[in-house]
Amino acid sequence: MASLEVELFGIRFENPLILASGVNDKVPEQWIRAHEEGAGGVVTKSIGIEPRAGYDNPTIVELPYGLINAMGLPNPGWKGFLEMVEGYTFDFPLIVSIFGGTPYEFAFLAEKLSDVADAFELNLSCPHAKGYGMEIGQNPENVYEVVKAVKDATDKPVIAKLTPNIDDITKLGLAAEKAEADAVSAINTLKAIAIDVYAKRPILSNRVGGYSGPGVKPVALRAVYDLARTLEIPVIGIGGITTWRDAVEFLLAGASALQIGTAVSLRGWGVFREINEGIKAYLESEGFSGVNDIVGLALEE
């Protein structure tokens, strides 16, 4: 029997699938549901210092091959987040996603939320929130400063989530690694737009959003491949993973674990179990004993 278990930065995951930070992870009930349906771990919605209502509707456009969303980083703020999780115990790794406008803000959040987080994912890559995410994360120096500030503020593992909206994503990965990030995750959404031909204007209230889903998979796979070839630290693959074949491709390209978001929106919570079963069947049919046996095989010359 092939094992799906993986260990990352000292944390054990039942399997390599993690619920991605996005539209299905606002409240603890959703995190618990994801785990019950087969996710090995969960990343929360991005949490900031102050509560944010997010953008006005419409915030999501569904396309034939994915979604464009511009939610505007809605969240309850760090105090509201702590109130929300009070009384809950989670029997799976909880990765708290945080965002800020400066290294100090990221570090402040990491310090305040360290008691509830098993690890932190730094949102250095949201493509539509002015002053946050991608606007900070496109610059390797900024990535270095943010990661370093957070590492100084917490002893929990730190994952830098990288933007694909740059000429060479490995520059960002190397900056994160230099600052002693425990892992990187890639990719966040691609900057995108959709236009209503009858209204003759962009559909989203924010005009520009982030494109996710099956259409971004080849771009995400290439980013993971490049990062895994370049970095010593683990890479967590994100972007259009919808089937077990997609998952196996990312593992072969060097991803040590995988995040799934849009597929949950498009296909339901059952995708976790379905993908896990497919990975297991593949490992057994190909004669491998566990997930780690195939990580990075496609990198070999």
What is the per-residue pLDDT across 225-269, written as a single tens digit (0 to 9) for each?
999 999 999 999 999 999 999 999 999 999 999 999 999 999 999
In one-letter notation, the amino acid at residue 17 is L
Instruction: State the total domains in the chain.
Output: 1
Higher pLDDT pick, 4 / 71: 4
What is the enclosing helix (H) or strand (E) of 67?
strand 66-69
Instruction: Quickly tell me which residue has 């991005």 as its tokens.
Output: 46
Residue 73, pLDDT score? 85
Residue 57, pLDDT score? 86
Residue range 23-57, pLDDT digits in tens: 788 899 999 999 999 999 999 999 999 998 888 88
Q: Is 60 annotated as a binding residue?
A: no
Q: Is the dihedral of CA 219, 6, 120, 35 positive or negative?
A: positive
* Domain contains 110: yes
Instruction: Give the percent of the chain with pLDDT over 70.
Output: 96
192 catalytic? Reply is no
- 130 token code pair: 């002015």
* Domain contains 27: yes
Alpha-carbon span 109 to 97, nearest angstrom: 10
Residue 301, pLDDT score? 73
* Domain contains 132: yes
- Helices and strands (H and E) in the chain: how many: 10, 16
Residue 168, pLDDT score? 95
* Domain contains 61: no
Residue 16, pLDDT score? 98
Residue 137, pLDDT score? 73
* Domain contains 60: no
Q: Is 161 annotated as a binding residue?
A: yes
Alpha-carbon span 291 to 38, nearest angstrom: 16
Residue range 130-179, pLDDT digits in tens: 555 556 678 899 999 999 999 999 999 999 999 998 899 999 999 999 99
The enclosing domain of 16 has a CATH number of 3.20.20.70
Residue 90: alpha-carbon gap to chain centroid: 19
Alpha-carbon span 67 to 58, nearest angstrom: 12
Residue 157, pLDDT score? 98
Which residues are CB-contacts of 295 (< 8 A; sequence separation ≥ 6)? 251, 252, 254, 255, 256
* Domain contains 99: yes
Listed in sequence order, the DSSP H helices in the chain are 28-36, 77-85, 103-113, 134-137, 140-153, 169-178, 217-230, 244-252, 262-267, 271-286
Q: Half-sphere exposure of residue 254, counting CA atoms within 13 Å on the CB side? A: 23
Phi and psi, residue 236, nearest 5°: -105, 125
How many angstroms separate the most distant Cα atoms in the chain?
Answer: 56
Q: Is 89 annotated as a binding residue?
A: no
* Domain contains 241: yes
Q: Is 189 annotated as a binding residue?
A: yes
Q: Is 213 annotated as a binding residue?
A: yes
3-state helix, strand, coil in the chain (%, to 5): 35, 20, 40
Residue range 78-98, pLDDT digits in tens: 999 999 999 999 999 999 999
Domain containing 285: what range?
A: 6-55+73-193+216-299
Q: Is 205 annotated as a binding residue?
A: no
Q: Which of 126, 172, 174, 252 is catalytic?
A: 126
With 60 as the cut, is the pLDDT of residue 129 above it?
no
* Domain contains 66: no
Q: Is 195 annotated as a binding residue?
A: no
